[in-house]
A and B are shown apart, each in its own frame.
Chain A
Amino acid sequence: MTEFTLWDILRNLLLATRWTIVLSLVSFVGGGLVGLLLLFLRISAHKAVRIFARCYIELFQGTPLLMQLFIAFFGLGLLGVDVPAWLAAGLALILWTAAFLAEIWRGCVEAIAKGQWEASASLGMGRLQQMRYVILPQAMKIAVPPTVGFSVQVVKGTALTSIIGFVELSKAGTVVTNATFQPFTVYGLVALIYFALCWPLSRSSQMLERKLNVAHRNH
C-alpha cells in the first residue's frame, strides 16, 4: 500500500482549490452581471417587470442552493439536455448569486435620499440617466462592504457542487480521504484552505464598512 505524505495530500487539495477559486470567480462575476440586470428590473417603472424580478429573487432566496444545483444538473438532464457538472454548477451558482446581490444592491439604491431622484428628475434626466450618473455612483460606495461580505457565501456555496460531481476542494477532500483513510487530516486541511480563502474576504468587508462609517461621520 502506498504511503501518503502530508505534502501529497496538501498538493492534491491545493490543485483542486484552483477549481473552487475559478468557480467562485465565475459565479461572482456572472452573478454580479445578472444581478445588475435583475436590480434594474426590480426597480423598474413597470409593475409587471418589478413583480417578475421579485418572484425570481424570492424563488432563489427561498429554496436551498442544493436543490437549485440538482435541478440544473438532473432536471435539464431529464429534458434530454446533457449538462456537464461544471456547467450545471456554474449556472446554478450564477443565478443564485444574482438573486442575493440584486437584493443587497436594491437596499443600497433605496438608501439614497429621495431628493437625489427628485433633483435629477427636475433637471430633465430620464430614469436610466438618473441611475447611471446620480444613484448608482452613490449606491455603489455603500454596496461594497456587503457585496464583498457576500462573496464569502459564494465561496462556501461552491462546496455544494461536489455533490453533483464537480471536482473542487470538497470533492477532492472526499477523493483523497478514500485513498488515504485519513479523514481527520484531510478534512482539517480542507477546512483550513476554505478559511484561508474566506477570512481575508470577511475581514476586508469589515474594514471597508468601518472605513465607510468614518467617511460618513466626516460629512
Chain B
Amino acid sequence: MSLIEITEVRKSFGSTEVLKGINLDVQPGEVIAIIGKSGSGKSTLLRCINGLEMISGGSISVAGAQLLDDQLHLKTLRLKVGMIFQQFNLFPHLTVGGNVILSQTVVKKTAKPAAEAMARRMLDRVGLGHKFDAYPDELSGGQQQRVAIARALAMEPIALLCDEITSALDPELVAEVLAVVRELAAEGMTLLMVTHEMKFARDVCSRVVFMHQGRVHEIGPPDAVFSNPQTPELKQFLGVH
C-alpha cells in the first residue's frame, strides 16, 4: 500500500485553479523530487499534503490519515508528515534546543527530560549538538535550516515535505543542508522535495515529478526524466533541445 495517496486533487484560489487534478502515490522510503517552473503549483501541492491549504477536490491521505478540515484530523495528519520551509521559520524567541523541544512537549505531551534527550539526539544527527543553547539569529542560514530539520525529525514523522529548502541559502551553505537530506534518504525516510538542485535530484531521488500548469506533466525515474524528456515543456524547462 502506498504511504501517501494523492488522488485527483484540485485546488483553487478564488477563481484560479492552481492544481488541476493531481494523482501521485508515494511508496514508503521513496524520495520524490518535484520540479517545474515558478507558479506551476509545486508549493501548493506540498502545502495541501499537510493541510496548510485545504483542497477543493479529490483526496489526500498519509499512512491512513485523511486530510479533512478539522483540528483533530489535521493534527493526526501533521504528526505523520513534517515540513521544512524555504525561510527556515525557526522560533526566534527560543534557543535551538527550545525550538526542537517545544512541539514535543506541547503537542505530544512528552515529558521535558525525554523531549530534551530527543532534541539533543536530533541536533547531533544534523551536526549541531553543540548549538543547543544558541539562538537562531546566532546561526548561519545553513545551520538554521538544519535546526529546522531536527525540529521536524523530533516529532518522528514518517514523511517529510521540503519546499525549496536550499533556495534561501548562500551557495556555500547549500551542501551542508543537502548532506543532511541525503543521509535521511539513505536511512529510508520518505521525502517529497521541491528543488532546483537537479544534480541532487538525479543522485538521490527515486522518482522525479515535473509539474506544469497545475498538472503532473511528466513523472519517472531521474534517468528517464532528465536524459529522455518526452514533452516539449520539460525539454524547455531542462534547457535541452
Contacts and interface: CB of A to CB of B under 8 A. Distances in A.
Contacts of B102: 123, 133-134
A118 B151 contact: no
Q: Interface residues of A: mostly helix, strand, loop or mixed?
A: helix
Most chain A CB atoms below 10 A, which of B81, B106, B155: B106
Interface residues of A, number: 20
A130 to B, nearest CB: 9
Contact of B103 (A115, A116, A123): A123
A122 B91 contact: no
Nearest to B81: A122
A147 interface: no
Contacts of A113: 87, 89
A165 interface: no
Contact of B78 (A122, A129, A138): A122
Interface string A118-136: 1111111111010001100
Interface string B90-114: 1111000000001100111000000
A131 B81 CA distance: 22
A115 to B, nearest CB: 4
Contacts of A124: 75, 78-79, 103, 107-108, 155
B137 interface: yes
A95 B90 CA distance: 37
Given A119-B85, A123-B78, A126-B75, A138 B52 contact: no
Interface of A: 113, 115-116, 118-127, 129, 133-134, 137-138, 141, 219
Interface of B: 50, 52, 71, 74-75, 78-79, 81-83, 85, 87, 89-93, 102-103, 106-108, 137, 148, 151-152, 155
5 contacts: A115-B87, A115-B89, A119-B83, A119-B89, A122-B52
